[in-house]
Every structure is written in structure tokens, then in C-alpha cells.
Structure 1
């Protein structure tokens, strides 16, 4: 597309140069003065400044160019009225992009040519009118053709840009789906191998301990097996949050706040706002993990009385807000903390953001947001 644009610019420059020569060569030779040559050269240089040294976007009309070109054209007309048609050269850069400007240029030049003929000869023949009309119609058809080609190319470029954006969004979605599928596979493999193995080892050690209750090494081995069993289950839950498979993100958040209330006595509840829409599996999992980490921080540090989890479905993003009225903290000092870093990394991996607002004695608010590219789970 860029090579086509360069080619279009070259044709525009050739169009300008040819029309400038065509419309000014005859009058310059007839007048036989130096000033018209200087003004025509100035018009060519003025065009080069605005359209060769710099390339304004298609359809843009630089007002300084129009004013400067118009003044040079008026200077030529003041010398000799036969320079009337040079007006078309001034407006040539817009004949390919702006249909109305091109048609105005054609009509102005046709009218100016007839006026010049009348001024020179005192009358206009029907033959001159017919020839001028035919030339004007041909020029108008050329302007319309150039405009249609430029418009079609612009529409094609827009379609290509939309296609590229759709392909990029699809690639991101496929990559996220692949990551989610791999996490699911790892969760199944760990559950079916390590977790089941540790469970079997723990059961065998419990049976052995029943016959040898005072064996120190047996007791230590059983404790290690139970710890590793719990750790493998934690890894499986981290890879594949079971709540999401069962009920989806809104209900998983409600259960999370419900468990917090039941286990600690904190007044915790979940609020859902906006029109619900399905999310990508990975986006749901990461938002849930952020909520779990924020709630875990409340349990350990906040000494809060109230906690509110708010999930907001907006037009172009989804926002999770976890607010507590606890002791608060200095976000600057806590920014390097492992938990906050993990939450921030989770959001950034999906193109989202994580904000933490808090102050000592003023509670804390964790805000996680994901953009539209990570949201739609429907295909």
C-alpha cells in the first residue's frame, strides 16, 4: 500500500508539471517577458515545497499553499489574461482527491478561457463555445475518474487495515486460547500423576504409621507427603480455577467474598455492574487470581471490617475493584512486594493494568482492568 501511495504521488507530480507547462507555455512565449517566467517558476517551486518536500495526507488542503499559489496566479493574470487557465495548475493537487475542487477548477478555467477569447477578439463564436465545452467535459470526466480511483484505493486501504487488525486480534485470541489450553493440560497431568501419587504415598504412610506409631522417620515422611500433596493441589488450582469451570467469574467472586465473611466475620460482598458478557477463559482466570490475592492480603494484613468486590462490565473493558476499609499501607513501599508484582504481571500479560490506591489508616483499593482485546469469549 505504501508503494502504491508513492506511485500515486509521482503521477500527481507529473500531472501538475504537465498542466503547468500546457497552460503557461503559450502565454509565456506570447508575452516575451522575464517576470511571467519567474512567476511560473515560483509556482512550480511553491508546489514542490508543499507536495514534494513534505507529503500532506490525501485530501488535506494546506491553506498557505492555496493562498500563495493564488497570489502567483493573480500576478500572472495581471500581466496577461491568457494566464487564466494556469488556475487549473494551482488546483491540480486536489483533482485526484476532492471531486468538488476539481470540478470548480475545470469550470473556472473554461469560463476564464471564454472570457479571455471575448476580451481579445470582442466576440465568441459558437465553435469556440462548443470546443471549450467539450474540453471542459473531458477534463471533468478525467477529474471524476481520478477521484473514483483515489476513493476506491482509500476504501481498499481501510479494508486492508481492518483485516490486519482483525487478524492481529485473532492471533492474540488464539495465543491466549493456546496458553489456556496448555495450562489446562498441565493441571490435568499434575492432578493425574503427582497429586494422585502423593495421595497414595500419604495413604500408605498412614497405614504404616498405624502399625509403627512411634517411628520418627515415618512421621516425617508422612508430613512431607501431606505437604507436597497440598502443594500439588494448590498448583492445580492456580492453573485451573475450579470455580470458573463450575459457575463463571461473577459467581466465583460471590463465593470468594462469601468464604471471607464465613471464615473471618468480615462484612464482605460482591457487586456486579454493567451488561454481562462472556470473557476469555484466561481473562476470567487472571481476574479471579487477582481477587484471590487481594482478599488474601486483606486476611493477612488489613484488619478490615468491610470488603467489597466490584466487577464492572463496560463498553471496551472489564474492571475488577477490591476495596477494604482496613489499616491501609504506603503503595510506594509495597510496590516491590511479591503479591502486588504478580498481580501486576498477570494484568500486563493480557494488555491490562493494575492500580493500587491506599494510605496508612485509609483502607486500600486494588483496581484491575482488561481491554476489549482480552474480553470476548464468544466466537
Structure 2
């Protein structure tokens, strides 16, 4: 892409230099003065300052360039009206990006040159009538060719940007799938080895305790085994949420809001909108944990009467928002806890975003969104 951009710039520079030389050489020779030479050199230097020496060159034509170039051209035109067609040199950067502007400028310069000859001599010769279309045709050809190169360059840039975005999305999805698969493998390995082993140890110790009920060391060993069994199960649950294995994300959210209602009396419910699509396992797990953390915050702080969990399947996004009608707060002044940071990190790791909207007395809304790339995997 950079090579195409450099090529476009080279054609622009060549167009500017050739047109400036062709249109100013004759008037400079006839004038025989120093000031026009200085102004032409100044116009060339002014162009170089803005488009040759700047790194990177500007994407758009800067207004200061047009103003300075226009003043230099007006100075030349005031000295000798033969410098009229030099105006196209100032407009060369526009000609590169807008072929219509370039064609209008070329035709205007050719017509202006005929007007100048008629104004200077009182008549127009057939040779001049032939030369004017040649000026217009040569300028229009240069404008058209260079604009074509510019359009090809822009189209290639768009295609390359789309290809790069697709490759990055695919790589991110593959990374997420790999992370999810590894978490599932770890969960299975821990469950099949450590958890099952601790369960067997607990059973053996319970059998031994039945025959030796007053053995202190046996009681301590049994307590330690039970604690480690519970810890291993907790790790397995953290790696692979059981609700998702059983029912999927929408139903897991419904169960979450149902438990909130049953345990607190809050009017909590879940809304699912859009057409359900397969969602990569890791994305499901992270969204569920965000919802659980948001609901936990409502329990602790909000004093809400109503909570709504909304999962929206859009064309290019999956959005989860948890809204409550509680006390609310000022996000700009509140000191956020560790939970919000963890929720934001979960979304950012998947290429998504997390927003928090609230105001004193107006409740709060946690909005987690994931791009379409995260929806490519199957549950």
C-alpha cells in the first residue's frame, strides 16, 4: 500500500513540475525580469514545503498552501497575464483527488489562455485555436491518468484494510478458541485427577473414622481432604461455568435473574432480543461472569426494586446490559472497586468493551459488548 501511495505522490510531483515549467517558461523568457523568476521559484518551493518535504505528506490539501500558492500566482498574473495558466499548478493536489476539479481547471486554463491572447493582440490565430485544445487535452489526460492511479491506490488500501481486519479478527477468534479449549482441558484434567482423587481420599477417611471415631489425626486429615476437594471443585467451576454446560448463556442469565428475585425479592427478569447465534465458549463464560458481578453489585449497593438483564443479538454485535433502578451514583466521582476492573479486562481480552452509565437517583447500567468476530465459534 505504501508503494502505491509513493507512486501517486511521484505522479503528482511530476505533474506539478512539468506544468509549471511548460506554462512559465515562455512568459519568463519574454518578461526578462528577475521578480517573475523569484515568484515562480517561490511557488515551486512553497509546493515542496507542503507536499515533498513534509513527512508524512498531508492527506488533504491544506488551506495555507492554497492561500500562499494563490498569492504567488496573483503576483505573477499582475506582472504578466501570460502567467494565467500557471494557476493549474496551484490546483494540482486537488486534481489528484477530484478528477472533475482537475478537468474544470484544465478547461478553464485553456480558455483563459485564449482570452489572454485575444486580449493582448485583439485577435486569435488558427495556431492558437489549435494550441488551446492541445493544452486542454494534455492537461486532461494527465489529470485523468493520475486520478485513476489515485483511485486504484485508495481501492487497494480499502481492500488491504479489510483483509487485515479480517485476519486480525480470525487470529483473535483462534486465540479465544485456544484459550477456551485449554480451560476446558484443564477443567477436565483437574476433575478427573485431583477432584476424583480427593473424593476417594474423603471416602476412605470417612470409612476409617467410622472405625476410629476419636482419632484426632484422622479427623484433621478428613477435614483437610474435604477442604481440598471443595477447592478443586471451585477451580473446575471457575474454569468451566456449570450453568453454560447445562443450558447455554440465555438460560443461564434467566436463572441468574430468577435467583436474584427468589433470594432478595427484587423484580428481576431477563430479556433476549434478536436471532440467537452460536457463541464462542469463552465469550459465553466471560459474559456470564460480567452479569454475575453486576448482579452482585446490585445486591450489595443499589437498593434496587427492579433489575433487567438484556442480551441483544445484533447484526455485528452481541450486547449484554444489566440495568437497575437503584440509588445510582456519579461515575466521575465514584471510586470503583476491583470487580469493575475485572469486568472491563474480561471484555477487552475478547476485543469487546464495557461501559458503565449511572447518575445519582437514576439507577445504573452496565453494558458489555462483543464484536461479531466473537460469535463465530459454536458452543
* TM-score, normalization by structure 2: 0.84
How far off is 1:342 after superposition?
4.0
Q: Which has the higher contact order (CA 8 A, sep 6+)?
A: 2
* Cα displacement (A) at 1:67: 3.7
The structure-2 alpha-carbon separation of the partners of 1:321 and 1:295, relative to structure 1 and needing over 3 Å to count, comes to closer
Q: When the two structures are aligned, how many residues end up with a matched partner?
A: 373
Deviation at 1:277, TM superposition (A): 4.0
More moved, 150-159 vs 194-203: 194-203
Change (3 A) 1:306 1:216: farther
Q: 1:201 Cα deviation (Å)?
A: 1.5
Cα distance in structure 1, aligned partners of 2:304 and 2:284: 27
CA distance in 1, matches of 2:33, 2:275: 78
Unaligned runs of 5+ in 1: none
> 8 Å contact 1:87–1:109 — kept in the other structure?
yes
Partner of 2:354: 353
TM-superposed deviation, 1:155:
0.8
Larger deviation: 85-94 or 308-317?
A: 308-317
Within 5 Å, which residues of 2 pair with 1:41-120?
A: 41-54=41-54, 57-58=58-59, 60-120=60-120
Q: Which residue is equivalent to 1:370?
A: 369
Counterpart-to-counterpart distance in 2, 1:98 and 1:247: 57
- Judged with a 3 Å threshold, the aligned counterparts in structure 2 of structure 1 residues 79 and 136 are, in CA distance, closer, same or farther, namely same
1:341 Cα deviation from its structure 2 partner: 5.1
The structure-2 alpha-carbon separation of the partners of 1:354 and 1:183, relative to structure 1 and needing over 3 Å to count, comes to farther
Q: Relative to 1, partners in 2 of residues 1:345 and 1:260: Cα closer, same or farther, differing over 3 Å?
A: same
Shift of 1:146: 0.9
Find the counterpart in structure 2 of residue 18 from structure 1. 18
Q: Describe the superposition over 1:21-40 as per-residue Cα deviations: whole angstroms up to 9, x where unpaired.
A: 22111111111122222322
Q: Is residue 298–residue 324 contact of structure 2 (8 Å, CA) maintained in 1?
A: no
- Give distance in 2, aligned partners of 1:317 and 1:221: 48
Deviations 1:269-320 (A, max 9, x none): 2222542543332122112123334555666x56968562512426645233
The aligned counterpart of 2:130 is 130
Query: For each residue in 1:80-139, what CA deviation from the matched residue of structure 2 results, as whole angstroms up to 9, or x when unmatched?
Result: 232222122222222222211211222122212322333444433434323432342232
Query: RMSD of the alignment, in Å?
Result: 3.4
Whether 1:236 and 2:236 are equivalent positions in the alignment is yes
Structure 2 SS opposite 1:96: helix
Partner deviation per Cα, 1:252-280 (whole Å, 9 max, x = no partner): 02112333444x35335222254254333
Distance 2:91 2:250 in 1: 61
Deviations 1:299-351 (A, max 9, x none): 6x5696856251242664523316485999x99897455x5554444344334
- 1:135-146 alignment runs, 5 A limit: 135-146=135-146
Alpha-carbon contact 1:69-1:90 (below 8 Å) kept: yes
> How many angstroms does 1:74 deviate by?
3.1
CA contact 1:15–1:92 (8 Å) conserved in 2:
yes
User: What TM-score comes out, normalization by structure 1 length?
Assistant: 0.84
| 1:196-218 deviation per Cα after TM superposition (whole angstroms, max 9, x unaligned) | 11122222222222333333322
